[in-house]
């Protein structure tokens, strides 16, 4: 056994990110995660599928941040998996999570190419060994715009392109709630991010981007922080479907339902992608797999993927549901989240119109959706907790008996059918009805 495997994170430290060399204990064995700095061939992804079947339980997660997780490992098989994955020579991310669009460098619709800034931050962080001293979940997002939206992803430090020359600096949380610290020139952006990371490292492993206040940031940035706070327009990017990148290249963005897929099914999709001449694939936000190739190949792959049960459009009700591993895969879970998600996708498909997120969480930790959602359900020791327009970690509006989990979701569907006005989307409807009426509907005993 290699030395680092002696260091497997015990269950009590589940907040630590599972990496390839530091697997985490879950309800269905150990879990290892890899993330990528570039695209790979469909054959490479097929090889990863084969390793998931060989060493794990044959299930793969594509995470909300574009990581690939192997499930059902043992100490021995996790060790073997690490050796085999490294032998594939894939562009694996090491050290600090510096994230950008999976289509970076390929997408002509971006405002700015992020690759140089990402490389400078990653290289400097590695040279300074910062990831050893920073919080395990520390993340930097460099968002150059384009087809892939990153605004819902939490980031300790976020750079968002205003144009080719200027970047907005934001700190903590998802974009809507982040502290907008000011504007940086492109030439200063990477150096300032590194200085902020060094500052956080000096504060210790619990310091996060949200702990930085404006005075501290101004002190670090000096006159490189331009007193010009602009609202960066958010483009109406859609998470899945056909995306034209350049005159010659397109992307097919699709996702496994609820972020999980069998190695066999993903391998079959990769075989099809290879046969169609798809050039590369890279996982990305919203559990997406971004296949890049010629227009015809991408369109054919999307059509095939839809037949195979993948999500290929934001109008798929499953794309409005954020769901974690739940029972039995996670030992902390109180409810079988995926079972409930399948029930919801069928029972109230009309309500899941893309205007809201239904969050189904196995416990109050909220791994699948750390930010607020309009409908947030989570398992607790007492029953199914519901929070309207909040996070699953908030104090719930009501806790329903376990036995009524599916019935509660069905009651929401009936409420929608009864109250829905033509032309009104689900978010507007639920906002109009308000918390009290929704909670009353959930409580109703209609058995
Ligand atoms: S939120 Fe879900 S995956 Fe995360 S610890 Fe709780 S049950 Fe497990």
How far does the centroid of ligand 1 lie from the alpha carbon of residue 183, in Å?
A: 37
**Helices 263-276 + 295-307 axis angle, to 10:** 150
Residue 18 burial (10 A CB sphere; 0-12, 13-18, 19+): buried
Q: Which of 152, 154, 158, 127 has the alpha carbon at shortest distance from 140?
A: 158
365 lines ligand 1 (CB under 6 A): yes
Q: Which residues contact 345 (CB under 8 A, 6 or more apart)?
A: 257, 317, 318, 321, 352
- Residue pLDDT, tens place only, 292-327: 999 999 999 999 999 999 999 988 999 999 999 899
Higher per-residue pLDDT: 252 or 444: 252
Strand order in the sheet with 68-73: 24-26, 29-34, 68-73, 59-62, 260-262
pLDDT the model gives residue 248:
96
Higher per-residue confidence, 141 vs 231: 141
CA of 376 from ligand 1 middle (Å) equals 14
3-state helix, strand, coil in the chain (%, to 5): 35, 25, 40
Average pLDDT (332-357) is 92
CA of residue 190 to ligand 1 center, whole Å: 34
Say which residue the tokens 């079947």 belong to: 53
pLDDT tens sequence across 213-240: 999 999 999 999 997 767 776 666 788 9
Other beta carbons less than 10 A from residue 179's beta carbon: 17
pLDDT of residue 4: 40
Contact 324, 332 (CB under 8 A): no
pLDDT for 53-62, tens place per residue? 999 999 999 9
pLDDT of residue 282: 98
Mutation test of ligand 1: which of 33, 71, 361 has the most ligand atoms closer than 8 Å to its C-beta?
Answer: 361
Please report the atom of ligand 1 found closest to the CA of residue 331: 8
Residue spans of the domains in the chain: they are 3-94+239-314, 111-144+152-224, 318-443
pLDDT higher than threshold 50 for residue 7: no
- Pocket flag, ligand 1, residue 325 (CB < 6 Å): yes
How far is ligand 1, taken at its centre, from the CA of residue 69, in Å?
15
CA 352 – CA 348 distance, rounded (Å): 7
Q: How far does the centroid of ligand 1 lie from the alpha carbon of residue 268, in Å?
A: 29
Q: Which CATH number is associated with domain 3-94+239-314? A: 3.90.480.10
290 within 8 A of 283, measured Cβ to Cβ: yes
Computed from CA positions of residues 271, 276, 282, 283, in that sequence, does the dihedral angle turn out positive or negative?
Answer: negative
Cβ neighbours for 200, distance < 8 A, ≥ 6 positions apart: 134, 135, 138, 156, 207, 208, 209, 211, 212
Cα–ligand 1 centroid distance for 27 (angstroms): 10
Of 256, 234, 269, 385, which Cα lies nearest the Cα of 321? Answer: 256
Asked if residue 237 lies in contact with residue 147, where contact means CB atoms within 8 angstroms, the answer is yes
Strand pairing of 97-99 and 139-143? parallel
Distance CA 377, CA 385 (A): 5
Q: Mean pLDDT across the stretch 237-244?
A: 90
At residue 242, φ and ψ (nearest 5 deg) are -85, 135
Mean pLDDT rounded to a whole number for the chain: 91
Count of all residues that appear for the chain in the document? 447
Phi, psi of 338 (to 5 degrees): -70, -35
Q: What is the CATH number of domain 318-443?
A: 3.30.413.10
What's the pLDDT score for residue 331? 87
What's the CA-to-centroid distance between 365 and ligand 1, angstroms?
A: 6
Q: Is 362 in the pocket of ligand 1 (CB under 6 A)?
A: yes
The residue with greater pLDDT, 152 or 397, is 397
Q: What is the mean pLDDT of residues 24-46?
A: 93
Interval 360-382 mean pLDDT:
94
Is residue 34 very low, low, confident or very high in pLDDT (cuts 50, 70, 90)? very high
Distance 26 CA to ligand 1 centre (A): 9
Q: Pick the atom of ligand 1 nearest to 378's CA.
A: 1
Mutate to test the pocket of ligand 1, among 367, 380, 393 (most ligand atoms within 8 A of CB): 367
Q: How many angstroms separate the CA atoms of 245 and 285, rounded?
A: 17
Distance 330 CA to ligand 1 centre (A): 6
E-strand ranges in 205-262 read 241-244, 250-254, 260-262
Is the shortest distance between the CB of 139 and ligand 1 below 6 Å?
Answer: no
Residue in this structure with the two tokens 């700015």, named with its chain if needed: 112
Tens digit of pLDDT for each residue in 110-126? Answer: 999 999 999 999 999 99
Which residue's CA is the closest to the ligand 1 atom numbered 6?
363
Check pocket membership of 138 for ligand 1, CB cut-off 6 A: no
Q: Could you give the percent of the chain with pLDDT greater than 90?
A: 83
Q: Is the pLDDT of residue 29 over 50?
A: yes
**Phi then psi dihedrals of residue 377, to 5 deg:** -115, 140
Q: Please tell me the predicted confidence (pLDDT) of residue 245.
A: 97
Q: Spell out the alpha helix ranges (H) of 155-294.
A: 186-203, 214-221, 263-276
Residue 387, ligand 1, Cβ within 6 A: no
Contact (Cβ atoms closer than 8 angstroms) between residue 285 and residue 148:
yes
């Amino acid at each position: 056994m290699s030395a680092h495997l002696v260091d497997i994170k015990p269950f009590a430290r589940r907040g630590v990110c599972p990496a390839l060399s530091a697997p985490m204990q879950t309800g269905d064995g150990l879990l290892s995660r890899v993330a990528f700095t570039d695209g790979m061939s469909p054959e490479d992804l097929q090889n990863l599928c084969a390793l998931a079947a060989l060493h794990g339980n044959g299930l793969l997660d594509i995470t909300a941040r574009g990581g690939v997780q192997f499930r059902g490992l043992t100490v021995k098989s996790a060790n073997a998996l690490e050796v085999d994955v490294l032998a594939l020579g894939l562009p694996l991310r090491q050290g600090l999570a510096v994230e950008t669009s999976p289509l970076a460098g390929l997408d002509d619709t971006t405002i700015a190419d992020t690759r140089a800034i990402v490389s400078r931050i990653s290289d400097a962080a590695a040279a300074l060994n910062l990831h050893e001293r920073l919080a395990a979940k520390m993340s930097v997002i460099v968002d150059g715009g384009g087809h892939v939206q990153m605004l819902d992803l939490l980031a300790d430090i976020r750079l968002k392109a205003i144009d080719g020359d200027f970047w907005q600096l934001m700190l903590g949380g998802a974009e809507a709630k982040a502290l907008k610290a000011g504007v940086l020139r492109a030439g200063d952006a990477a150096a300032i991010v590194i200085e902020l990371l060094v500052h956080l490292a000096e504060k210790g492993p619990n310091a996060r981007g949200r702990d930085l206040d404006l005075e501290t940031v101004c002190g670090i940035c000096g006159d490189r922080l331009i007193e010009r706070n602009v609202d960066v327009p958010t483009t109406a990017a859609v998470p899945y479907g056909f995306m034209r990148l350049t005159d010659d290249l397109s992307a097919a963005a699709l996702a496994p339902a609820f972020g999980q897929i069998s190695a066999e099914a993903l391998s079959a999709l990769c075989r099809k992608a290879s046969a169609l001449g798809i050039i590369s694939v890279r996982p990305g936000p919203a559990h997406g797999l971004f296949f890049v190739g010629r227009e015809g190949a991408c369109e054919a792959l999307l059509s095939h993927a839809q037949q195979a049960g993948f999500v290929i459009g934001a109008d798929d009700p499953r794309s409005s549901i954020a769901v974690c591993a739940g029972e039995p895969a996670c030992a902390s879970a109180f409810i079988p989240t995926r079972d409930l998600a399948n029930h919801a996708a069928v029972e109230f498909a009309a309500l899941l119109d893309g205007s809201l997120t239904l969050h189904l969480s196995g416990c109050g930790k909220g791994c699948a959706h750390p930010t607020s959602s309009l409908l947030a359900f989570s398992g607790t020791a007492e029953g199914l907790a519901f929070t309207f327009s909040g996070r699953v970690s908030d104090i719930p509006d009501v806790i329903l008996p376990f036995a009524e989990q599916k019935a509660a979701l069905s009651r929401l569907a009936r409420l929608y059918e009864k109250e829905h006005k033509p032309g009104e989307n689900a978010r507007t409807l639920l906002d109009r009805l308000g918390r009290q009426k929704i909670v009353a509907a959930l409580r109703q005993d209609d058995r």
